[in-house]
Amino acid sequence: MKIGSIDFGSRPVFLAPMEDVTDISFRRMCKHLGADMVYTEFISSDALIRHISKTRLKLEIAGDERPVAIQIYGKDAGAMKEAAQICEEAGPDIIDLNFGCPVKKIAAKGAGAGLLRNIPLMLEIVRMVVDAVKTPVTVKTRLGWDADNQIIVELAEMLQDCGIAALCIHGRTRSQMYTGNADWSLIRKVKENPRIKIPIIGNGDIFSAETCINRFESCGVDAVMIGRGSIGRPWIFREVKHALASGGQLPEEPFSWYLNLLKEQVLQSVEKLDERRGILHSRRHIAATPLFKNIPNFRQTRIDMLRADTVAGLFAIMDKVPSEYFNMPLDYCR
């Protein structure tokens, strides 16, 4: 599969853009573990053109995470155009436009998934950005605003006609947020449309290598994007890539291998930010990880980890995990 001049090979797997998750340290870890492309956190076009320093920091790209996409969102075509030009100066491989974020403070203001209620403006934004930059432009969106307005099949053609290089579809409507099950049937319908020539990337509810392979085979998508399934579990990319290459399950690793990856995430966040903010940033991964699932009487230990405010204190709590789990098989960590 190719996006612009970038050849990803057969059945690539991408890390989805996620606010407060896909910072540079997490992206680099997922890339090291097998992600074929990574995306930045989504970036406000308005904040970017106002030169907000915290927002500008999100444009930082490391050489070892490429190919990497910078994702922007906004509801003003002029601001999106200017923001895309600023992004291009940072040297991403792809510029992605977010028309899928369902969060109320974004969508209710007409940005993100809110643009699913204003298709003419969405298309205007796409055309202006495509014309303004040389970097390939892609779009990430949803099936539609709600169950009565699942417009993605028609919308995909319109977006393609605006010049985008690829389209990522999350298999839910905005109204669903992240509830229920992702519906891949419409993603498959888009892919089967003979008018569609650009790559179609499927997204939604990929929490295992088996599900990822099934989506490739049953829906025919060109690539699969993994979002929440990677939080607290960056090794999912390693599992998926092994399964895609061999058709089998990845050989087991000891529990300590996974635990050390989580520790490395903490250390990288602390190095990037500082001890307090780095630990705060890491808590989402620690809270979401399946690593500690089903360990007896672990509730208080989990609470203690989430309350820890120093690296030494956090790691001391982690190291108290009963020693018998340090030979835990891979299945436990899925």
List the one residue out of 170, 224, 175, 155 whose CA is nearest residue 8: 224
Q: Which member of 101, 168, 219, 333 is catalytic? A: 101
Q: Any alpha helices (H) in the chain, and if so which ranges?
A: 24-32, 45-49, 53-56, 77-89, 104-107, 119-132, 152-161, 185-192, 209-219, 236-246, 255-272, 275-288, 299-307, 311-318
Q: Around Cβ 245, how many Cβ atoms within 10 Å? A: 10
Give 263's contacts (C-beta < 8 A, 6+ positions apart).
Answer: 315, 318
Judge contact between 135 and 88, C-beta under 8 A: yes
List the one residue out of 70, 66, 32, 33 whose CA is nearest residue 48: 70
State the amino acid at position 151 in one-letter form: I
First to last CA, the chain: 28
**Does the annotation count 333 as an active-site position?**
no
Torsional class of 28: left (φ above 0), alpha (ψ -120 to 50), beta (otherwise) = alpha
State the amino acid at position 245 in one-letter form: A
Rounded Cα distance between 80 and 236, Å, is 33
What positions carry a catalytic annotation? 101
